Structure 1
Amino acid sequence: MKFKEKFYCNRCRTETNHTTIGENNTLFRHVKSRNRTNEKQFEEMEDIYYIAQCNGCDSIIFVQEFHYKKDDEWKSSYHFYPEPAERLDKIQNVSFKNLPDSLFLLISEVHIAYWGKLYTLCSVGLRMVVEAICIDKGVEGNRLVDKINNLKNCGFITHIQADILHQIRLLGNKTAHEILIHKEELLLEGINVINSILFNIYGLEDTKIFVDEKSS
């Protein structure tokens, strides 16, 4: 059976057609029905599970279809295993040639947290990346706010980049201390800014960024 809509393929890096594998098409079907007590509930619903193959590269995915009836109309929503990586395509693709192992591991985990919609961990992780940069560069300061300012004063980042790092610091603080979950768009912007700053510091390690004293 060929699915009517296209699914994202992690190998093809785009939405492709998929076809189920197996004689009966369906691995398992679980039907549930109930009487509606309010307009938001579904009249009938069923979970259907498939093994599907990409028609472009032949890679295999596991598909869970939530099939439900509402207002006398059947609709479907899908969940995939492994998770589609299309959200990672929104992250700027930068190369960290000279990035220390600890920083590389940390920023990679931030990307994975964003991919997995673990927004609380992603937010705190971004702040940890800022702290890790300051530690790696050996800048002084008892608080992260002082370390960021000294990172700027030492010429590793510009005045504008320092302001952005302060925003990321505050974002992480609010998440950690107030359990505040930030929106996906804000976290994506923070990740892309951090990626750019990491490239400026480590990708161009031999060229220091000199800051205009007046702008400081």
Structure 2
Amino acid sequence: MKDFTLENNLEGTHKFICKECSRETSHKIISSYCEHGHEDHGYGNTIAWMVKNQIIQCLGCEDVSFRISSTCSEDDDYDENGEHYYNETIKYYPSRFEGLKAINIYLLPDEVQSIYQETILAIENEQNILAGIGIRALIETICKDQKAEGKDLNQQINSLHEKSIVTKEGVDILHKLRVLGNKAAHEVQAHNKEQLSLAIQIIEHMLDGTYIIPHKVSRVLK
């Protein structure tokens, strides 16, 4: 059995992740199309479910996007106070990942820009193995663009320090990211959300210092 409910311009504000702001911001729900129902599996076993299809708008940047919230009576739990609740599965369209820095990708070289965008898409869509491989490919592409010397990525990363492109501490971090990418590529190991978030933040900092800030300096401080 299935029922439908349509609500427009719901009152109040809600904290959702905004793709443009790259963080959790206040949103309003413009429209919510709710599907809910239950299925009888016999022997008194009834499963209830609910799916809310929502058009949402950020109250900061005013970006409009789509959010799906779904719950099922089979997926329940208790909080630390013993209160019963149903776990909520959330999906956003376009997909998004909290904490990503909004860098100007158009100031990046074409190959670096392409790999960066694909890696971000993999992270946002929780394709964690592909994201790990993308992290390594991004470092390789930066090394290639900066004409880093060496027969392998290990030596090329060290070359970035010799060229004064990254600090000694930066080299140590890049080697850790190289190992992360190797495990994804060769051991098919999926890294968790926290690891990938930190990895891409580190690379974004490198992109900022290597490409974006020098471009701004050449334009502003002629």
Report TM bin, short chain. Answer: 0.7 to 0.9
Could you say what secondary structure the match of 2:68 adopts?
A: strand
- Note if 1:126 corresponds to 2:135: yes
Per-residue CA distance 1:169-196 (angstroms, 9 max, x = gap): 0000011111111121111111111111
Identical counterparts, % of pairs: 21
Would the alpha carbon gap of residues 36 and 147 (structure 1) be closer, same or farther in structure 2, given more than 3 Å must change? farther
- Note if 1:77 corresponds to 2:85: no
Corresponding residue number in structure 1 for 2:41 = 34
TM-score if structure 1 supplies the norm length? 0.72
- Aligned-pair distance for 1:162? 0.8
Which stretch of structure 1 is more off in the superposition, 90-99 or 110-119?
A: 90-99
Over the aligned positions, Cα root-mean-square deviation in angstroms equals 3.5
Corresponding residue number in structure 1 for 2:73 = 68
Alignment of 1:1-216 (within 5 A): 1=7, 2=10, 6=14, 8=16, 10=18, 13=21, 14-18=25-29, 20=31, 26=34, 28-34=35-41, 43-48=46-51, 50=53, 52=55, 54=57, 59=64, 61=66, 63-68=68-73, 75=86, 77-83=88-94, 85=96, 87-88=97-98, 90-95=99-104, 98-205=107-214
Separation in 1, partners of 2:58, 2:104 = 31
Q: Conserved in 2, the CA contact under 8 Å of 1:19 and 1:55?
A: no
Could you say what secondary structure the match of 2:88 adopts?
A: strand
- Aligned-pair distance for 1:59? 3.9
Per-residue CA distance 1:104-152 (angstroms, 9 max, x = gap): 1211222222111111111111111110011111122111001111121
Separation in 2, partners of 1:91, 1:136 = 23
- Aligned-pair distance for 1:6? 3.0
TM-score if structure 2 supplies the norm length? 0.71
Q: Conserved in 1, the CA contact under 8 Å of 2:18 and 2:58?
A: no
Q: Conserved in 1, the CA contact under 8 Å of 2:95 and 2:125?
A: no
Per-residue CA distance 1:74-129 (angstroms, 9 max, x = gap): 746244451553x24x1233345642011112112222221111111111111111
Could you say what secondary structure the match of 1:146 adopts?
A: helix
Corresponding residue number in structure 1 for 2:3 = none
- Aligned-pair distance for 1:11? 7.3
Q: Conserved in 2, the CA contact under 8 Å of 1:63 and 1:81?
A: yes
Larger strand proportion of the pair: 2
Q: Conserved in 2, the CA contact under 8 Å of 1:149 and 1:162?
A: yes
Would the alpha carbon gap of residues 160 and 36 (structure 1) be closer, same or farther in structure 2, given more than 3 Å must change? farther
